[in-house]
Structure 1
């Protein structure tokens, strides 16, 4: 019975941590619909944070590929004075990229709701 209470306690802590992290992220990362994303990304830095093979198979027209795994090493390619529009396949890597950028002082961070798989605009394939 004690083991069950410990397991339940751990579960509550994990869920609580996730909720707190999600709420904190909502303060610095705007999640935009496809339409909202389309309206703003031409005046911003459009960054696809997926891996190069995913980018080559199709990406939003005008996007640069900076995989989230390389973002720390390539921060000099992202201007802190311009809005940043991020996307990945479904949204989780874009959120991780936004978290890293926020820690480095970037403030105008936006992500595509649902990621590339929900994008209905122009696409380019290599």
Structure 2
């Protein structure tokens, strides 16, 4: 599985349009998310895989990065390209502060 630091992820997303998969629950997503992020809660993901494109690369974000690592592995095991964002939204918010 591929991982990326929050710092490298932030630099990359400033220069490229990325497929950002936010796996937090919908309430957390509504309280704040990255521009153009796709909300697909981890609990719904197994039933919603058909919404994802196997030709796309997804940057998977959770709150702290723990669940995103698990989900990125899950996606890769099902034939998707997924990159785990280490530190998640918690660290992204700290960078912005």
CA distance in 2, matches of 1:100, 1:84: 12
Q: How many residues align?
A: 92
Q: In the alignment, what sits opposite 1:72? A: 46
Cα deviation, residue 40, structure 1? 4.6
Q: In the alignment, what sits opposite 1:31? A: 3
Secondary structure of the structure 2 residue equivalent to 1:84: strand
Deviation digits for residues 31-50 of structure 1 (CA, Å, limit 9, x no counterpart): 21223213158433211000
Q: So what's the TM-score if we normalise by structure 1? A: 0.66
Q: So what's the TM-score if we normalise by structure 2? A: 0.83
- Unaligned 5+ residue runs, structure 1? 1-27, 122-126
CA distance in 1, matches of 2:41, 2:55: 21
* Superposition CA RMSD, Å: 1.7
Aligned pairs for 1:108-119 (under 5 A) are: 108-119=81-92
Deviation digits for residues 65-123 of structure 1 (CA, Å, limit 9, x no counterpart): 101110011111111101110100001111121122112111x32122211000035xx
- Unaligned 5+ residue runs, structure 2? none
Q: Moved runs in structure 1, 4+ residues, more than 4 A?
A: none
Bigger-Rg structure (1/2): 1
